[in-house]
Amino acid sequence: MINVLNDIVILDASKGIAGPYCSMLLQNMGARVIKLEFEQYPEARNDVRYQLWNRGKEQFCLNLEKPDSKSILSQLINLSDVIILDGIESELSKNEFDYESIRNLKENIIYTIIPPFSSTGPYKERHGNEYSVGAAFGLMGDQGDDGIPEFVRVPTAAYGAAFNCSYHITAALLWKELYNEGKKIEISLSHSAMVMQSAQFMTGMNLPTRKPIIRDGIRAGVPIYRLFKAKDGWFFLAGGNPSFWNKLCMGLELEELVIDERFIDAPWGIPSEYHLELAEIFEPIFKEKTLEYWEQFMKLTDIPFAKVGTKSEYITHEQMSHNKTIESVKNNNLGNTKQISNIVYFDGAKTEINPLVKPTGYDNYNILTEIGYTQQEITRFIDTDICYGNNE
């Protein structure tokens, strides 16, 4: 296992997708992650994705309604370098999970919170999750056209928050190493939704606007950077520069298009009034031949091309098999599962899922022993439901 973050302890007390995904990314780099929960049977465990986002983490379940839980929580925080939470901080303060309360327990803690919206402004108390926030901030409305939005199943806002949090946490860890100071990090789902589509938010007097053209259910505005339908399926053509435009026209024996004044700034600078005309030229041509034919054609003409694949095809793809991107992971509840492996390479070696930590079950006993409680105290905590469950 690559121990880039060796000896770093992360207390993940988040409930949604962004926090667990963020701590999974950090665990992939060697950090020790303790997943802290407050319900004996949290609803999140019913989601099969929970088993993915929380693999390789130790599990600890604490009943906050019990008086002794505050002392245990204090010890867990003192053990940790980072705490990750999600939700609205004013509500978290009821259980003393706001920044000031946590900082009073450990001054140099790196406190990371992922609220639905910002902690300031008119939406600071408004609830939301990765899908509702994503819908509010353009992730669905701007995917559809003619006023009809599309439901985007990938939780883009949550993934964006996880990516942003993970690299801000690593920066804060460097700061802590240099100056022994903690930091408060806040990255909202709403900001993350916007960051993940940042180019779409660019405006300016001299920026051209493009009205999308919808044909066959897909956008057809850019001539060679879009989906096309072949005789037996779909492919994506990624010809995003003038060189690819020229090669395509020459390969199809349409040299006249290169010097056609309507298309002189292809592929991106074609005036919108000519988009439809160009689409009507290319689409019938691509529909005449098979995917295999166009794959060979694009290879010979050196134009980026890909057949549109599915997840089931991806699992058996020769490149993915070579890189062992899909691995078998044993799960106490689900048995053997196929999961995406850790995909980062350091010095040519791929990181591994922590083999010493079970994907499910509680590690209360081991953690309580580590933070200084006696066997008699631990037995009492478990018998009186201060800590739910036990090692399984």
Range with the largest mean pLDDT of 18-32, 72-86, 119-133: 72-86
pLDDT surpasses 60 at 150:
yes
User: What is the average pLDDT across 229-252?
Assistant: 94
- Asked whether residue 298 carries a pLDDT value surpassing 50, the answer given is yes
In a domain, 39, yes or no: yes
Highest mean pLDDT out of 25-39, 111-125, 303-317: 111-125
pLDDT at residue 228 tops 90: yes
Per-residue b/e over 263-292, b at no fewer than 16 CB within 10 Å? beebbbebeeebbeebbeebeeebeeeebe
Find the helix or strand (DSSP H, E) in which 92 lies: helix 89-92
Mean pLDDT computed over 104-120: 95
**In the numeric block, which tokens belong to residue 347?**
């010095």
149 prior amide bond cis, ω within 30: no
Most confident residue range from 151-160, 177-186, 322-331? 177-186
* Residue span of the structural domain in which 80 resides: 9-197+350-383
Distance CA 227, CA 283 (A): 10
Torsion of CA 192, 61, 361, 43, to 10 degrees: -60
pLDDT in tens, 322-366: 888 887 777 666 677 778 887 777 777 777 666 555 555 568 888
Torsion angle of C-alpha atoms 26, 31, 32, 34, degrees rounded to 10 = -20
Q: How many domains does the chain have?
A: 2
The per-residue pLDDT of the chain, averaged, comes to 87
Same domain, 108 and 40: yes
**Residue 391 pLDDT:** 46
Q: What is the arithmetic mean of pLDDT over 133-142?
A: 88
Query: What's the CA gap between 114 and 186, in Å, rounded?
Result: 6
How far apart CA 112 and CA 135 sit, in angstroms, is 24
Task: Tell me if 263 is assigned to some domain.
Answer: yes
Q: Model-level pTM?
A: 0.85
Spatial CA neighbour of 193 closest among 300, 118, 288, 112:
118
Backbone angles phi, psi at 309, to 5 degrees: -105, 175
Condensed to tens digits (0 to 9), the pLDDT of residues 246-261 reads: 999 999 999 999 999 9
Burial of 31 (0-12, 13-18, 19+ CB in 10 A): buried
Domain boundary among 308, 325, 342: 308
Q: Is 240 left (phi over 0), alpha (psi -120 to 50) or beta?
A: alpha
- Tell me if 272 is assigned to some domain: yes
Phi–psi pair at 328, nearest 5 degrees: -85, 130
Q: What is the CATH number of the domain that holds 111?
A: 3.40.50.10540
pLDDT at 392: 45
Asked whether residue 364 is assigned to any structural domain, the reply reads yes
The residue type at 17: I
Residue 254 lies in a domain: yes
**Are residues 243 and 98 located together in one domain of the fold?**
no
Q: Which residue has the higher pLDDT, 268 or 72?
A: 72
Whole-number percent of the chain with pLDDT over 90: 54
Q: Is residue 2 predicted with pLDDT exceeding 60?
A: no
pLDDT at 17 over 60: yes
